[in-house]
A and B are shown apart, each in its own frame.
Chain A
Amino acid sequence: MSVMIGIEVHCQLNTASKLFCNSSSDHRGKMPNECTCPICLGFPGSKPVVNKRAIELGMMIALALKCKIAEKMFFSRKTYFYPDMSKNYQITQYEAPLAERGLFTLGENKIRIRRVHIEEDPARLIHVGGDITSAKYVLIDYNRSGIPLAEIVTEPDFTAPKEVRAFLEKMVNVLEHLGAYDSGKEATLRVDANISTDGGERVEVKNITGFENVEKALNYEIIRQSSMKRSGNVVVRETRHFDADTNTTKSLRKKEYEEDYGYIFDPDLPSVTISRAWLESVASSMPELPDQRIERFVRQYSIDEYTAMVIVYSDKRLADFFEECCARYNKPPTVSNWIVNYLLKSLNWRSERISQSKARPETFVELLQLIDEGKITDRFAKELIKEYVDTGISPRTLAQKEIVALSEKDLDEIIVKVLQANANAVEEYRNGKKESLQFLIGKVLSETRKQGNPKKIKDLIVKLMPR
């Protein structure tokens, strides 16, 4: 079966204030409707004034996606009646968007970017006592109303849901490197996906949050559309809603065609001219992009390309973390090895991103220093990292506790006990089988929960071995 998927990504831009007013666009810890003013509430008589920073972030995104940036762009009004819009029109871009015709490389594939434009986010609707179709009533939080969004529209160049997910992950990484998007700000990334199977009608699944959900929604649609065809039904052009509880999509309304929004140029906002000088100054202030960063990591830190890719692509903040560790502990390959093989595992176990984690570069490097100092074993460090990521307590403190607890006398007793319990191995070692000594060291370490210096343990075993 052939599948064609195109997506629209709506990304909240990381600006201090909203797109057309001075209300804060960061509403962490704020009451609902606290970050509002007459403009983002659409009061009669209020007027929008565009936030230049939002346009600059949009320009950076367009440059990163290799788009052609307009010399002059306009804002338009998209009119439709919906309770999440205070004005019942959304200020967006239609005829003359910020940028068009770009390209994004995704492994072997090239995904064509149709356009990038800037628009305002509507308010957030909270469906109380049910979902969009069954809620008893709806609450509206205008804190979100007017936050700048960049809408990135692709051509229908994806052939499988997992490609879409890979694209989104890489795209977010780019956006975070640009500083255009901050996942730590509870900023959201919403996706509308258009999918058609075997050249059938295009179905739009709207407002999906989370990459995993995008993949699930698309997989569900493929199954739904193919089973409809198998049973002799026709897939109709429509808009559907993804229900994250059941992992299914539900029909919302028959597709409203774009043109029916009755777009007009927004007469409150003069056209924005993007001069060559402005574009050049934005281009020269562009932060490093992920691919450039990977190259630099290989060059500057002498780590292999694969490791650099894992660090940079998994999370911009993780790459920042790596660099901060290297600044404190000058063995980058060791740092990268511990991050990729052990830190990431602990984070994944907790389903955390580094930005949410209690791990800090200054404490993380203690773990590596303790190994170098011979105070803990590699193996013990691998145990310790879990507790460290769970609690955020510095490894030096954590190790101290364990080291003090295990006195010389305790260790002697453990070794004697192990030797008694494994008389066969002792016998074999005496008969010249060296591997048996390793076996005994392992047994001791498992008793000590992997603490104690292996060299010292080895010496003690030899010393305490019955003659």
Chain B
Amino acid sequence: MVSLIQSLVKLHLERLAAEDVKLDDFAPRVMEKARAIQQKYSPFITLDENLGSTNRNAQKLPFSVKDNICTNGLRTTAGSRILENYIPPFDATCVRQVKSAGGFVIGKTAMDEFGFGTFSTNCAYGAPKNPIDIQRVCGGSSGGAACVTAAADFPHIAIAQSTGGSITAPAAFTGTVGLTPTYGRVSRWGLIDYANSMDKIGVIGRCTYDAAFGFSLIAGHDPLDATSLNAPKLDYTKVLEKDIRHLRIGVPSEYFNADGVDPQVKKLVWDKITSLERFGATYEEISLPSTKYATAAYYLIALSEASTNLAKFCGLRYGIQGETEGNYENYFSSIRERGFGEEAKRRIVLGTYARMSGYRDAYYIKALKVRAKIIGEFRKAFDRVGAIATPSMPIFAPRFDEVAGLTPVQQYAMDIMTTAPNLAGLPTVSVPAGESGGLPAGVQFIGDYENEGTLLQLAAACEV
């Protein structure tokens, strides 16, 4: 499908091929623009100010990297105060792949601390502002990634990451394209863990082409990640050229009829789905009845895992340092008290509780069973349909003051569209479905395992 959106990345790649880009001042000019974006919207935690000193001929295509993905020699905080001075000694596999393909990292993008949030408001270094309306949030937790993508007037791809919807949410709120791959399709080596059984590195781009190009660079098997899939490398920009004729799209009623779905979002998404009929796709309503348990199961599993992942940040090897007083337990507590934000503390306590004796069976083990059931339902659905379509988020990007008024439980409830596919490890793409009052809504397509190709074709069709 030929997208109607002009890709700055594609244009730039063509100019690079024609040797029509002055590489000796390309990176500095990009950095100047990045600083201007930073002034306006604060999408970065760290900008790489040392780019000028490295080999400019290798700096062909700008990338931003979410701040929970390790970059060799460039500060990586995972959005947390506890890692404010952490400089990794190695690159994440995806960063290494991007660099070896001529990409360069302009900076590390803002996020909710350790990925703990839906709006990018739980940020230790300031929340990124939505370029569409700076009173509004970017969505989370990959908010900085979506923000810089939406704001950049230069070719750029954001390396983002999702555990329970952290690519889909900001992509929907900023009108960008976010691809969350199949679990294991992109190596997690170098990713600072939130919930390892669900963490997926993906991409956010201005359009489907950008996302497909970026994804092609980072997808592939990695012996450094035991959960990495043994799937071949593919050029997904080629896959985009295929059409979606005869593709059957499942529309699950549970997602559209859930509590709190904005009617205007619902309408835009439905319109987008029906518009795909002109390309020969069909749709049918399906049912995924376990959806209502997905968010609870997601939080139980994610927080159980997170509470163990964050244990290493105690001021001994990792985390800020402090005065040692009392025994090691006193010391660890004082560092964690100081270094973690409120939401991180809440999630550590919840996750620890869910796996403790007396509660473990009722929460952690039960959630694992729910997860297996949800996976079973999706598998059955994919026997009938080639993709599933839902709203990306139940609402339009809210204002900061609106988010501040939500209780944690109300915030968690905003993840109803994304928790089930993330629990199942299925790939999703979020693509703009249109706007209302200047605010974009996103449609989310969920694909079968390793079927990112179909999702990208659908996303491209939405751009026609």
Measuring CB to CB, which residues of chain A are less than 8 angstroms from any residue of chain B? 38, 41-50, 77, 79, 81-83, 86-89, 257, 259-260, 262-265, 267-270
Chain B nearest Cβ from A122, distance in angstroms? 13
Interface string of B164-199 (1 = CB under 8 A from A): 000000000000000000000000111111011100
Tell me if B90 is interfacial: C-beta within 8 Å of chain A.
yes
Chain B nearest Cβ from A296, distance in angstroms? 41
Q: Are B314 and A44 in contact (CB under 8 A)?
A: no
Tell me if B279 is interfacial: C-beta within 8 Å of chain A.
no
- Which residues in window 259-318 of B have CB below 8 A to A? 304-305, 307-308, 311-312, 314, 316-318
Q: Are A81 and B311 in contact (CB under 8 A)?
A: yes
Question: What are the residues of chain B within 8 A of A46 when measuring CB–CB?
Answer: 189
Chain A nearest Cβ from B55, distance in angstroms? 25
Contact A45:B88 (CB < 8 A) given known A81-B329, A81-B332: yes
Tell me if B86 is interfacial: C-beta within 8 Å of chain A.
yes
Q: Are B360 and A262 in contact (CB under 8 A)?
A: yes
Chain A nearest Cβ from B40, distance in angstroms? 30
Contact A38:B226 (CB < 8 A) given known A45-B190, A89-B308: no
Q: Are A262 and B355 in contact (CB under 8 A)?
A: yes
Question: What are the residues of chain B within 8 A of A77 when measuring CB–CB?
Answer: 308
Select which of B188, B304, B329 is within 8 A of A47 by beta carbon.
B188
Chain A nearest Cβ from B341, distance in angstroms? 17
Cα(A168)–Cα(B90), bound, Å: 43
Interface string of B315-340 (1 = CB under 8 A from A): 01110000000001100100000000
Q: Are A88 and B357 in contact (CB under 8 A)?
A: no
Question: What are the residues of chain A within 8 A of B307 when measuring CB–CB?
Answer: 79, 262
Question: What are the residues of chain A within 8 A of B88 when measuring CB–CB?
Answer: 43-45
Instruction: Provide a sorted-by-A list of 18 A–B residue pairs whose CB atoms are within 8 angstroms.
Output: A38-B90, A44-B78, A44-B312, A45-B76, A45-B88, A45-B90, A47-B189, A47-B224, A47-B225, A49-B224, A79-B308, A262-B352, A262-B357, A262-B360, A264-B304, A264-B364, A267-B305, A269-B227
Q: Which of B83, B92, B223, B308 is the most central at the interface, judged by chain A CB atoms within 10 Å of its CB?
A: B308
Chain B nearest Cβ from A55, distance in angstroms? 13
Question: What are the residues of chain A within 8 A of B408 when measuring CB–CB?
Answer: none
Question: What are the residues of chain A within 8 A of B9 when measuring CB–CB?
Answer: none
Tell me if B89 is interfacial: C-beta within 8 Å of chain A.
yes
Q: Are A267 and B195 in contact (CB under 8 A)?
A: yes
Contact A44:B318 (CB < 8 A) given known A79-B311, A81-B329: yes
Cα(A79)–Cα(B328), bound, Å: 16
Measuring CB to CB, which residues of chain B are less than 8 angstroms from any residue of chain A? 69-70, 76, 78, 83, 86, 88-90, 92, 188-193, 195-197, 223-227, 304-305, 307-308, 311-312, 314, 316-318, 328-329, 332, 352, 355-358, 360, 364, 368
Cα(A86)–Cα(B364), bound, Å: 25
Q: Which of B192, B312, B364 is the most central at the interface, judged by chain A CB atoms within 10 Å of its CB?
A: B312
Q: Are B226 and A262 in contact (CB under 8 A)?
A: no
Q: Are B329 and A264 in contact (CB under 8 A)?
A: no
Question: What are the residues of chain A within 8 A of B317 when measuring CB–CB?
Answer: 41-42, 86
| A contact patch SS | loop
Question: What are the residues of chain B within 8 A of A47 when measuring CB–CB?
Answer: 188-189, 224-226
Select which of A41, A263, A265, A268 is within 8 A of B226 by beta carbon.
A268
Cα(A48)–Cα(B228), bound, Å: 12
Chain A nearest Cβ from B447, distance in angstroms? 22
Task: Specify the chain A residue showing the minimal Cβ separation from B356.
Answer: A262
Cα(A47)–Cα(B317), bound, Å: 17
Question: What are the residues of chain B within 8 A of A263 when measuring CB–CB?
Answer: 355, 360
Contact A45:B328 (CB < 8 A) given known A81-B314, A83-B316, A268-B196: no
Question: What are the residues of chain B within 8 A of A48 when measuring CB–CB?
Answer: 226
Q: Are B357 and A257 in contact (CB under 8 A)?
A: yes
Cα(A48)–Cα(B188), bound, Å: 11
Chain B nearest Cβ from A267, distance in angstroms? 4
Cα(A427)–Cα(B358), bound, Å: 95
Cα(A48)–Cα(B76), bound, Å: 20
Cα(A81)–Cα(B76), bound, Å: 24
Question: What are the residues of chain B within 8 A of A38 when measuring CB–CB?
Answer: 89-90
Closest 10 A/B residue pairs (Cβ): A259-B357, A88-B311, A267-B197, A267-B196, A262-B355, A45-B70, A45-B190, A44-B192, A87-B312, A49-B226
Q: Are A44 and B83 in contact (CB under 8 A)?
A: yes
Question: What are the residues of chain B within 8 A of A86 when measuring CB–CB?
Answer: 312, 317
Cα(A77)–Cα(B308), bound, Å: 8
Select which of A49, A81, A82, A87 is within 8 A of B223 by beta carbon.
A49
Contact A81:B308 (CB < 8 A) given known A41-B317, A267-B197: no
Task: Specify the chain A residue showing the minimal Cβ separation from B90.
Answer: A38
Chain A nearest Cβ from B361, distance in angstroms? 10
Q: Are B305 and A260 in contact (CB under 8 A)?
A: no
Q: Are A260 and B357 in contact (CB under 8 A)?
A: yes
Task: Specify the chain A residue showing the minimal Cβ separation from B184.
Answer: A270
Cα(A83)–Cα(B368), bound, Å: 31
Question: What are the residues of chain A within 8 A of B197 when measuring CB–CB?
Answer: 267
Contact A43:B89 (CB < 8 A) given known A264-B364, A268-B196: yes
Cα(A86)–Cα(B195), bound, Å: 19
Cα(A398)–Cα(B189), bound, Å: 62
Question: What are the residues of chain A within 8 A of B364 when measuring CB–CB?
Answer: 264
Task: Specify the chain A residue showing the minimal Cβ separation from B355.
Answer: A262
Chain A nearest Cβ from B452, distance in angstroms? 21
Q: Are A45 and B192 in contact (CB under 8 A)?
A: yes
Question: What are the residues of chain A within 8 A of B227 when measuring CB–CB?
Answer: 267-270
Question: What are the residues of chain A within 8 A of B196 when measuring CB–CB?
Answer: 267-268
Task: Specify the chain A residue showing the minimal Cβ separation from B88.
Answer: A45
Chain B nearest Cβ from A256, distance in angstroms? 10
Cα(A263)–Cα(B224), bound, Å: 24
Q: List 17 additional A-B contacts (Cβ < 8 Å) besides A42-B318, A43-B88, A44-B312.
A: A45-B70, A45-B92, A45-B191, A45-B193, A77-B308, A79-B311, A81-B314, A88-B312, A89-B308, A259-B358, A260-B356, A262-B355, A263-B355, A264-B304, A267-B195, A267-B197, A270-B227
Cα(A83)–Cα(B311), bound, Å: 12
Q: Are A83 and B355 in contact (CB under 8 A)?
A: no
Cα(A269)–Cα(B195), bound, Å: 13
Chain B nearest Cβ from A217, distance in angstroms? 25
Q: Are A264 and B308 in contact (CB under 8 A)?
A: yes
Q: Are B311 and A87 in contact (CB under 8 A)?
A: yes
Task: Specify the chain A residue showing the minimal Cβ separation from B368.
Answer: A265
Chain A nearest Cβ from B85, distance in angstroms? 13
Cα(A264)–Cα(B357), bound, Å: 11
Question: What are the residues of chain A within 8 A of B76 when measuring CB–CB?
Answer: 44-45
Cα(A82)–Cα(B193), bound, Å: 20
Q: Are B314 and A88 in contact (CB under 8 A)?
A: yes
Q: Are B190 and A264 in contact (CB under 8 A)?
A: no
Cα(A270)–Cα(B226), bound, Å: 7
Cα(A42)–Cα(B311), bound, Å: 11
Cα(A265)–Cα(B314), bound, Å: 22
Question: What are the residues of chain B within 8 A of A79 when measuring CB–CB?
Answer: 307-308, 311
Q: Are B328 and A81 in contact (CB under 8 A)?
A: yes
Question: What are the residues of chain B within 8 A of A41 when measuring CB–CB?
Answer: 317
Chain A nearest Cβ from B253, distance in angstroms? 32
Cα(A260)–Cα(B356), bound, Å: 6
Q: Are B328 and A83 in contact (CB under 8 A)?
A: yes
Q: Are A45 and B189 in contact (CB under 8 A)?
A: yes
Cα(A298)–Cα(B244), bound, Å: 77
Question: What are the residues of chain A within 8 A of B312 when measuring CB–CB?
Answer: 42, 44, 86-88
Question: What are the residues of chain B within 8 A of A268 when measuring CB–CB?
Answer: 193, 196, 226-227
Cα(A46)–Cα(B328), bound, Å: 25
Select which of A42, A43, A87, A264 is within 8 A of B305 by beta carbon.
A264
Cα(A83)–Cα(B364), bound, Å: 27
Cα(A42)–Cα(B312), bound, Å: 8
Question: What are the residues of chain A within 8 A of B192 when measuring CB–CB?
Answer: 44-45
Question: What are the residues of chain A within 8 A of B318 when measuring CB–CB?
Answer: 42-44
Cα(A259)–Cα(B365), bound, Å: 14
Question: What are the residues of chain A within 8 A of B357 when measuring CB–CB?
Answer: 257, 259-260, 262
Cα(A268)–Cα(B191), bound, Å: 12
Task: Specify the chain B residue showing the minimal Cβ separation from A78.
Answer: B308
Cα(A83)–Cα(B305), bound, Å: 21
